[in-house]
Amino acid sequence: MVCPRAALESVDATTKIISSKHGKVEGFNHDVGADQFDVDLSFDEAYLQDFDAVLLLGGRLNAQQIRSIPEMQRMVQGMQQDDKPISIICHATWLLVSAGLANGRTLTNWPTLPDDILNAGGNWVDQEVVVDRKLISSRKPDDIPAFSRKIVETLAQRVKESVRGTQNEQAEVGASS
């Protein structure tokens, strides 16, 4: 989460961490606990209309948890319905599979998981970053620099398409855990 979030904040995007409850969430480097982050909003407090994009973080442990949370499924379904960017890396594609959003889409994910996308009716490719409409997917931590650049580029295009008024308005991105 650190690098994609820093890339977004470097272009003045406001980021929010959304989780099932307030407090802290723990990041992981693969399966080893890492940094902790303050939760900004619970799912009950997060309204889709307040966000321009969503960033879903990878990792097997995180992805196993978020894929079964109904609020997360509804969030990504609503983001897709509103034609807002969804960025996913690594195992986070599991949430799209569980939410019924992989069918007919071209995605990438952790290199040992193409069957999940294929079985859900999607098309899997082995590339560092794949963009299918406003769905941005990436494979693994090595791809984070390219993934982060594509997120920033896509969000900038989204903001450009939906300019609502002043130069001072900032895009908001929700990151979940």
Residue 149's alpha-carbon distances to 8, 43, 68, 154, in angstroms, are: 9, 27, 29, 9
Torsion angles phi and psi, residue 111, rounded to 5: -55, -20
Q: Which listed residue (91, 105, 139, 150) is catalytic?
A: 91
Any catalytic annotation for residue 91?
yes
Q: Which of the 8 DSSP states describes residue 64?
A: H
> What is residue 72's three-state secondary structure?
helix
Q: Which long-range contacts (CB under 8 A, 24 or more apart) does 150-153 make?
A: 150/87, 151/4, 151/7, 151/8, 151/53, 151/55, 151/85, 151/87, 152/7, 152/8, 152/10, 152/11, 152/13
Chain centroid to Cα 159, Å, comes to 17
Distance CA 68, CA 8 (A): 27
Distance CA 85, CA 62 (A): 20
Which amino acids are annotated catalytic? 91
